[in-house]
Structure 1
Amino acid sequence: MSLADHYRTLGLRTGASFADIKSSYRQLARQYHPDVNPTDQQAKDRFIQITHAYNTLVEKLQPKRPVLPRPDRSARATVETVKTVFKTETSPPPQRAETHLDSHLSHLDRQIKQTAYIQLQLLLREKKFPRAIALVEGLAQRLPQDPEVRQWQAITYQRWARDLISQRQYAKARVYLQKALRSDPHNRSLWAEVNRDFWQLEQKVRQTATRS
C-alpha cells in the first residue's frame, strides 16, 4: 500500500499533519477497538487496518527523536533512566542517579525509590513479571505523583503483556497493554510501541481464529 492509501484508511488527505494523523487514529481506534466490538469481526479487521496505517505513517513522518512532554530539562535524565530498565546485561544493576524530579522527596522516599529501581531491573531481567508489577504498583501507591515511577509502571505492564503474547494469553495481554497506556498516557514513544503491540496481538488472535 502507498502512503496515500494509509492516509485514506485514516480518513485523511495525503500530507495531513502528524497531529491530525494521531487525532484521527485515536478517534478511529476508540470506535473499532476489539474491546468495544468483541463479536464484530469486521470491526477487528478495521482496527488492524487503521493501526497498521497509523504505525506506517508514524515511522515515515515522526521525527527520529520525538519531544516527550516534560516539566523541565531534568526530564532528559528521566528518559535515560527509564531506558536503563530495559537493559539485559548480566552485570550488577547500576545505581540510579538522583535527578531534580527527586528534590521534593524525603530522604526515606529517595532511598525507597532507589532500592525499588534496582529490584525492578533484576525482576525484569529474570522475567518475574508478577513480582515486578507488585513492586512497582506498591511504589506508585507511595509516590503517586512521581512521573518517573509512572513510566516504570507503564514499562513493566508492557513487558508483561509482551510475555503474555508469546504465551498466547491474548486476553490478559490486552488488559496489561491498556494498563500501560493508562499509567503513562502522555508518553508518545510508549503510545507508538503499545500500538504496535496491539497490532501484533490482533494479528495473532486472527491467525489463531483462522486455524480454528
Structure 2
Amino acid sequence: MDLGDCYRLLGLRSGASFADIKSSYRRLAQQYHPDINPNDIRAKDKFIALTEAYKVLLTVVPSEEIAQPLINSSPSRRDATQPTRSEKVPTSTVTAEKPPKPKPPKAAKPPNLVEIEQRLKWKTYEQLQRFLKERRFPQAIALVEALAARLPTDTEVRQWQAIAYQIWGRALLTENQLLKARIYLKKALKTDPNNKALSIEVQRDFQKLEQLD
C-alpha cells in the first residue's frame, strides 16, 4: 500500500496534516468497525484497510508538536540578527551562532484503542436499546454477543447481554414459544449469575413458564 492509497482510503489529499489524518481515521473507524457492522465482511475489510493506512501514515507524517519545531529551525529561514554582506562587522566582536539542531522525530504513537473501544461500546449500547425497543430481538442478541466477544471482561456488557436474553425470553413467553423462552431465560442466569435483581425476575418468569406448560 503506497502513500497515495493511504491518503485516498482516509478520504484525504496527499500532504494532509497529522490532525486531519487522526480525525479522519477515528471517524471512519467508528463507521466501519465490525462491532457496528456485524456479519458485514466488506465493512470488516474496510476497517482493516483503514487501520493499515493509518499506521503507514503515522510513520511518515509527524505530529503537530514535532512539526512546529522543525519548521522554526528550517535552514531556509534567515536569522534576522545575521548581518548582510554590505554590513561591516568587526570579526573580533562577532561569533557565528550555530543553528539549533532539529529535534529527532518521536516514534509514531498507535491510535488510542482503549478510547476507540469505549466509544464503540456506548454506540453499540445505543443501537442495542433501539433494537430492543423495536422488538428486533435477533438483531439485538447478535449485536450484544459480538460486543461481549470483543470485551469479554467488561461487567457492563455482560449485564446488557443477560438483560437482552431475559427480554427476548419474556417476549417468547407471550408468543407461547415455551421451549425457546426457557433457553433464553437460562442464558440470562448463566451470563450474569451474580445479578440478584435479574435472578429474582428470571425466577418469576420461570414460574409463569411452569404455569403455561
Per the normalisation by structure 1, the TM-score is 0.47
Which of 1 and 2 has higher RCO (CA within 8 Å, sep 6+)?
1
Greater C-alpha Rg: 2
Structure with the larger helix share: 1
